Chain A
Amino acid sequence: MAEERRQKQCSVVLPTESMKAMAESIGVGQLQEESCVALSEEVSYRIKEIAQDALKFMHHGKRRKLTTSDIDHALKLKNVEPLYGFQSQEFIPFRFASGGGRELHFYEEKEVDLTDIINTPLPRVPLDVSLKAHWLSIEGVQPSIPENPPPAPKEQQKAESTEPLKAVKPGQEEEGAPQAKGQGATSAESKGQTCKDKGLVRMKPRSTHELSVEQQLYYKEITEACVGSCEAKRAEALQSIATDPGLYQMLPRFSTFISEGVRVNVVQNNLALLIYLMRMVKALMDNPTLYLEKYLHELIPAVVTCIVSKQLCLRPDVDNHWALRDFAARLMAQSCKTFSTTTNNIQSRITKTFTKSWLDEKTQWTTRYGCIAGLSELGPDVIKTLILPRLSVEGVRIKAVSEGPVVSNIDKIGADHVQSLLLKHCASVIAKTRPLPDNMDQYRADYGYLGPMLCSHVVKARAQAALQAQQVNRTTLTITQPRPTLTVTQSGLGGSVGSRTPSIIKVPSSLTLMSTRPGTPTQPSPPATKYIVMATSAGAASTQQVITLSTSQSASPITSTVPSGASTLQPLVKLESQGPGGLGGSRPLQKYIVVSLPTSASSSLENKSSMLPPSTSPISVEAGMKMDRSESPGASTQSPH
């Protein structure tokens, strides 16, 4: 690489045409080709020489930019008259022209009318040089004042928080460095050891600065907005937390605010506030300039509380605290991914905690749900090793609740949720790992009570994967709206109101792509790759799932039908523009609706097709829409998505 570069450097020579053009410009008509070559080499060499000298002046001028005056000074060194008239520091006033196979650079000299110049008002006088003093550092600590750069870039925060660990743990990678070759190796090593010892003794004193008045005001505003009642304000505040670069100083305050807030509100079962606080955590984690490692000891307990707490809301049977658990579980997984190291072992500790309470017989359904959610968010590997083996046990438990004597409504709802959660997460993992064919009986044998349901979920998951693969292949539409939400509406059917479970399996799902305004309450997450899939059944209960899809999927084509091929689903996609009303209030809403029809013959399909006759008809879409709308508001106020 370097060699190539160097070769290039040495071979750069002005083109001979330039020589010819210059010769013509001073009246030399026919210049021999050889002379041109010789001249161009000579001129190139001299130009390089001057450029090198000019660099010297740049260095001594303590600049990074080479200016025309540097070149003038370099010329002066060589006893060459400087180029007059190129004083401008801003731009090089050359114009480029080509034509007739020639390329030319020339200096444009316009005729200037003097009266114009005289008549134009004088430009503002540039300000004179002045001197301003500020504190760059006070006893080793840089104060955060406007004159100083925003404190501590992320790398530095990371280094600061990881360096003490390094010092404590005589590092693996440091070992090699001091071992110099030759005779000095032993002495160098022993010395390296002493250095490390010294490093151990000397701990850097931590000092926090008082927040400036502006920062205090900011903190007050932000925290009030985050937990206040105005949703628009909250969106702005969260946006600010997620993007502002200078929050490093306030991080300890924020983390305390969150942890205290969770502590208080869990006791008071204030679901809304817990959701708000979790959204704050999310925003903090999304801020690219913050490194939260130092504050995890406060944040993680708060987040885990929101995942596994027995009760998070006043009316557990009605309120959608499940969404909060899902959301918090995702936060937990994200922080595991970002901050888990061999030193702090966050992931393994968290996994242990979840597993332990899940295994406990007496654990409530709510906590159980939280543990499973927390584990399954940690990734397919965790699901495979920890959840799949326990599916049959869990199945027995669920069966006991749903088919046995009705103990309490709350338990029943809890068991339902656990079941759907398990199905959702395990299906995708099994679809990837388990070889075909998907045999109900085999599934029952392997996974017990949940087996058959799992089987159909797996089938669906496989089909969806195949469909998505196809959709990816022919991308034609780009969605201009910034944050599309992918909503899967599972419309429940007449017979399935009583027991939800079969409806999930049999009901054809319609996929709705809908784009939402940025910063809407339902969408605090950045526009990255997350799409929220809302599965709504016709019944009162609704579930929401979040699946992570790649952007290309969201931008998948809108066509009338996807060729069914081997897939068992026949999705129909319809684009519909909708007027004001419904979820978005006055904002126009565009929906992309994908309706999937299972081809397998089953009673429910017949049912369905009788209800929604030709799936391409506008009526059916309308129906799907309405359902969607009717469900959404309730969900959006509760869910932290």
Chain B
Amino acid sequence: MAAVQGGQIDPEGEKDIKTEPSNDGSGNNNANDGGVLSSSPGATSSSGTTKTLTAGAEDQQTLLAVLQFLKRNKLSESVDILRREAGLSDDADDSKVSDTAGSGLGSTVNVDAEGGDANSLLNRVTIATAAPPATAAPAPTKVPASGGEDQPDVNVVLSAYSQQGDPPLYQVYYSGLKKFIESVLDCHRAELSQVFYPLFVHMYLELVYNNHEMEAKAFFEKFSGDQECYYEEDLRILSSLTKKEHMKGNETLLDFRTSKFVLRISRDSYQLLKRHLQERQNNQIWNIIQEHLYIDIFDGMPRSKGQIDAMSGSLAGEGKRDANKAKVFYGLLKEPEIEVPLDDEDEEAENEEGKPKKKKPKKDSMGNKSKKQDPNAPQQNRIPLPELKDSDKLDKIMNMKEATKKIRLGPDNLPSICFYSFLNAYQGLTAVDFTDDSSLIAGGFADSTVRVWSVTPKKLRRVKSAADLSLIDKESDDVLERIMDEKTASESKILYGHSGPVYGISFSPDRNYLLSSSEDGTVRLWSLQTYTCLVGYKGHNYPVWDTQFSPYGYYFISGGHDRVARLWATDHYQPLRMFAGHLADITCTRFHPNSNYVATGSADRTIRLWDVLTGNCVRILTGHKGPIHALAFSPNGKFMASGATDGRVLLWDIGHGLMIGDLKGHTDTIYSLKFSRDGEILASASMDNTVKLWDSMKAFDELETDDFTMATGHIHLPENSKELLLGTYLTKSTPVIHLHFTRRNLLLAAGAYNPC
């Protein structure tokens, strides 16, 4: 596998980046489960799962923990049974597990029904299911769609369904539970209702797996209408699946099986549910809950329907609370000092910017350069960044000069929008990008081409051929000018090389390179000096939906249909990191402004934030009800905005891993989001032919952040989309697919005019 090699052949120059562990898959799974797994190997949940476990150090530990727990509770019979089944010797247990603090759970359900004191219950549930995903999950790097490779996995995955109850009783079970949940107190009902969907899916799949097609259909018809509307997409896929054979190679099914559906339920509600199921001896449902659901119990008030709806909707339930506990250094890196002697004008510019506009976060970091570092920022050399070249420094100076002329935006001072329409694109425009200085615009097209336009009067020129270059006087002052071939000057250039639609495109910060990702499974690096392809990065094998350069250049990220995001360096043909964990296609990828983190949005309706250094997933953000097609970080790195096919924009606090805003207004897929250079305005572009401007400052300010909210992540979202909306700008018939703020805060938008 490419991933494995990628780790091993990390070159010497990259020694600062930790060498990839040879098994990326499990490494990343560790990350997904948060710190729990590594610190205290948990116990397994029930006898059913225990059976499926195979040998392995981790599993042994788990078993031992269980044994110890049983012993402590004087359940010698169970201990014996378990030991016999697992084939462990008596002396094995005492040696290892002394440090697994008081955790564990009974091998049978009824064991701790009476002994379920609060503490052990909590531990049990939070830790209970930590292990199974790691073992049951197929290595995420494996290609999901290719049938042959999948077979063994599927069998492993599905074997859990082989135990079956009486098929006709499924409806009785389900409606019994439904009746119960409908009859509980209002405050618990919303929470317990979360159980319906995963239960429904698993029961349906069990029926299908055991060849009860008719019962499955009847079950589906009877209860599919009860599910929340945002699961409709999945239900549609599920409805077409009626035979055991169909389950092989079905990605949705695999997702559902390999990952436990995560529910957050308050302790009270959970107790209610458990008591009910035990009273009724409803083992079928209880088994499913034990095996396929991960119930994250918290203390405190049950959540309201609104709170739950805000967070649910992803393919695998909500993110676990632990998953978002890791510290994220969201601060910005210190701006490097620029040693180039500044002429007077620059000096002036810098002074100006340092004093009066200190409030702006971006300015802050630029203003107090060489002073103390942002406490939330990562170490300057946490990941190695490329050295600044002279040209980069010049560009930085230009940037700062421009920044002083920047318009201060706000609700009363909206940006002007300049719209670039692609004419005669025949619905073929698939991706657009602007350079940071807004001098170039690039478009990716369905006909596999990439086109670059100059939007300034300066024409695009190629470097002369090698033969001509040798004739040039290399000592002359204007050598940079002389190497360009005047004959090739034109307003646009076409780059040929891909063999499928180009879905992602990104300029390097220094404007020397262009990246493009395509349906053909490659990412290509183009030179904007010679307008030729330099490298084709292969590894994805399946369509690559998005790619983006790091804000510091050199690194780039790509993600696609194979559900893996890859981090590359331009000078390596193998990826440096592979981020696996998403359950469906990765639809968009974005670098954090400090380049230490990468955010990926996926068709599984989650957003994950990955640490570039460790490769760990540090945030799982759920709440979208459709595939995510747009991501944007605020310039100060603290916040993130995401847009999806459901037409909603969600705002996130990265530091706390909290959803802090829900902007409703668009009626179709959001394809682009951008914060203004100061982060005061958020612009969103959508398929519904509109650009909308939102007051992001207000959205962030109004955030109520008490300790409880911080601790639990249960936030009350104010219904204030209308107040935050500052403007809507309709195009004639042009879906807007890209947005860009110039350095002076002019908003550029782009899309293909679509007559008809």
| Residues of A in contact with B (beta carbons under 8 Å apart) | 2-3, 6-7, 9-10, 41-42, 44-45, 48-49, 52, 56-57, 59-65, 67, 69, 73, 77-79, 89, 126-140, 142, 147-149, 177-178, 180-184, 187-188, 191-192, 195, 198-199, 202, 205
Contact = CB atoms under 8 A, between A and B. Distances in A.
Contact of A202 (B145, B239, B411, B418): B411
A89 B420 contact: no
Cβ-closest 8 pairs across A and B: A3-B225, A140-B414, A10-B239, A136-B417, A136-B419, A137-B417, A184-B716, A127-B424
Which of A60, A135, A139: most chain B Cβ within 10 A?
A: A60
Given A69-B446, A126-B424, A180-B306, A78 B145 contact: yes
Interface string B581-609: 00001010000000000000001000000
A365 to B, nearest CB: 53
Interface in B407-464: 411-430, 441, 443, 445-446, 451, 453, 455
B719 interface: yes
B220 A10 contact: yes
8 contacts: A10-B221, A41-B243, A62-B687, A78-B145, A149-B730, A182-B304, A192-B718, A195-B702
B421 A134 contact: yes
Interface stretch (B19-27, B84-92, B271-279, B721-729): B721-729
B720 A137 contact: no
Contacts of B673: none
Interface stretch (B107-115, B228-236, B471-479, B547-555): B228-236
Contact of B239 (A9, A49, A147): A9
Contact of B446 (A59, A61, A140, A184): A61
A62 B737 contact: yes
A147 B419 contact: yes
Contact of B240 (A49, A138, A147, A188): A49
Given A147-B421, A180-B304, A64 B731 contact: no
B702 A147 contact: no
A133 B687 contact: no
B622 interface: no
Interface string B179-190: 000000001000
A182 B732 contact: no
Nearest to B430: A61
B655 interface: no
Nearest to A151: B730
Interface in B694-730: 702, 704, 716, 718-720, 723, 726-727, 729-730
A131 B585 CA distance: 31
Contacts of B503: 60-61
Interface string B614-637: 000000000000010100000000
Interface string B234-250: 01110111110110001
Given A73-B500, A136-B691, A199 B424 contact: no
Contacts of A6: 224-225, 232, 235-236, 239
Nearest to B752: A62
B702 A181 contact: no
A483 B643 CA distance: 52
Contacts of B735: 62, 64
Nearest to A147: B732
A45 B244 CA distance: 12
Contacts of A133: 418-421, 455
Given A2-B229, A69-B446, A130 B418 contact: no
B451 A129 contact: yes
Contacts of A63: 427
Contacts of B645: 59
Given A64-B735, A147-B421, 20 more contacts: A3-B225, A45-B242, A45-B246, A48-B240, A60-B587, A61-B446, A61-B503, A131-B421, A131-B441, A132-B421, A133-B420, A135-B416, A136-B749, A137-B691, A139-B414, A148-B731, A178-B719, A182-B304, A188-B718, A195-B718
Nearest to A181: B304
Contacts of B749: 136
B545 interface: yes
Contact of A137 (B451, B687, B716, B727): B727
Contacts of B246: 45
A188 B243 CA distance: 49
B212 interface: no
A79 to B, nearest CB: 7
Contact of A182 (B239, B301, B752): B301
A140 B420 contact: no
B424 A202 contact: no
A77 B420 contact: no
Nearest to A126: B424
Contacts of B225: 2-3, 6
Interface of B: 145-146, 187, 217, 220-221, 224-225, 229, 232, 235-237, 239-243, 245-246, 250, 301, 303-306, 411-430, 441, 443, 445-446, 451, 453, 455, 492, 500-501, 503, 519, 542-543, 545, 561, 585, 587, 603, 627, 629, 645, 669, 671, 687, 691, 693, 702, 704, 716, 718-720, 723, 726-727, 729-732, 735, 737, 747, 749, 752
B723 A195 contact: yes
Given A45-B241, A129-B445, A149-B730, A138 B416 contact: yes
Contact of A142 (B217, B237, B729): B729
Nearest to A44: B240
B425 A129 contact: yes
A71 to B, nearest CB: 13
A181 to B, nearest CB: 5
Contacts of A73: 500-501, 519, 543
Contact of B242 (A2, A41, A78): A41
A191 B702 contact: yes
A7 B232 CA distance: 12
A289 B486 CA distance: 53
Contacts of A59: 627, 629, 645, 669
B419 A135 contact: yes
A49 B238 CA distance: 11
Contacts of A57: 501, 519, 543
Contacts of B427: 61, 63, 65, 67, 89
A154 to B, nearest CB: 14
Contacts of A129: 422-425, 428-429, 443, 445, 451
Contacts of B587: 60
B627 A149 contact: no
A399 B146 CA distance: 99
B542 A52 contact: no
A140 B237 contact: no
A139 B687 contact: no
A548 to B, nearest CB: 37
A553 B297 CA distance: 71
Contacts of A130: 422-424
A52 B727 CA distance: 35
Contacts of A79: 145-146
A183 B747 CA distance: 41
Nearest to A148: B732
B304 A77 contact: no
Contacts of B236: 6, 9-10
A175 to B, nearest CB: 12
A516 to B, nearest CB: 38
A147 B693 CA distance: 20
Contacts of A67: 427
Contacts of B145: 77-79
Nearest to A135: B418
A45 B243 contact: yes
A322 to B, nearest CB: 46
A42 B691 CA distance: 44
Contacts of A135: 416-419
B423 A131 contact: yes
Contacts of A183: 301
Nearest to B423: A130
Nearest to B236: A9
